[in-house]
Amino acid sequence: MADANPDKVVEVAKWIMPPQLREISGLALTSRGTVLTHDDNAGRISEIDPKTGILLKSFSLIGNQKEDFEAIAIAGDDIYLMASDGKLFRFREGADGQQVQFIMFDTGLRKQCEFESLAYEADSTRLLMVCKRILDKQAPQDLVIYHMPLPLNRATFTIVRVPLHQLIGSNKWKNFRPSDMTIDPFTRNYVIIASHEKGLAVVTPDGDVVRSGPLPGDHRQPEGVAITKDSLLLISDEANVMPAAITLYRWRP
């Protein structure tokens, strides 16, 4: 495994988010080339044009749902919002200012993991949930990726484990706590970022580590990641001393 090469990514733009997006978290690309993001503590979703940084619209889950929302993914016409305890909220996109109906699915994993990362793997028609913190202290402290086939069913998920020492490699991290993930549209590998370690790792679907290393640029609280089809790596930061922002890098896998 080779460490990530910072020369592979070059910053091309940085957009400062408006005050209502100070708790910007996960990112999910739409088929239009825009990006959906969400609030950390409320079921409010916003659409942003990553090429300009302009906020296009915001809508919310009906009933002003309050959860520790940590990630978002788009699977066809459905959008999934994930809470840190593994609950998944499925809904359709709404118009600006609209409240939308949703269905909540409890994965039953709240005692196993604290979650912050979610992605949709279209090739396998499944959601990917990465464990940020393993709650069972007796369990191996590996990087754990849950594969959740759609339609969702508690009995059908599978697990891929990545040994932590392989992920850390020669980096000076003591751990690697994922804050979001995306799927590289060119290689289909999983690209995972960790806010606490300010790190980025690339892992194959089988759990082999391709590379790992520091995030490019200066990120205070990186919480979301996405890669566009025209080779832009997007990283979102919640407000932390500095305002919330989305930074764009040129990505070469």
Q: Is the pLDDT of residue 1 over 60?
A: no
Tens of pLDDT, residues 72-111: 999 999 999 999 999 999 999 999 999 999 999 999 999 9
| Residue 75 DSSP SS3 | strand
**pTM (two decimals):** 0.94
pLDDT value at position 31?
95
Sheet holding 199-203, edge to edge: 2-3, 209-214, 199-203, 190-194, 180-183
Locate 142 and state its tokens.
């590996």
pLDDT value at position 8?
59
Please enumerate in sequence order all residues whose Cβ is within 8 A of that of 151, keeping only pairs 6 or more positions apart, or say none: none
* 27 closest CA partner among 251, 245, 186, 252: 245
Cα 23 to Cα 19: distance, rounded to the nearest angstrom: 9
Give the mean pLDDT of 53-59.
97
Tens of pLDDT, residues 152-201: 987 789 999 999 999 999 999 999 999 999 999 999 999 999 999 999 99
Percent of the chain with pLDDT over 70: 97
Catalogue all structural domains in the chain, each as residue range(s) with its CATH number.
12-251 (2.120.10.30)
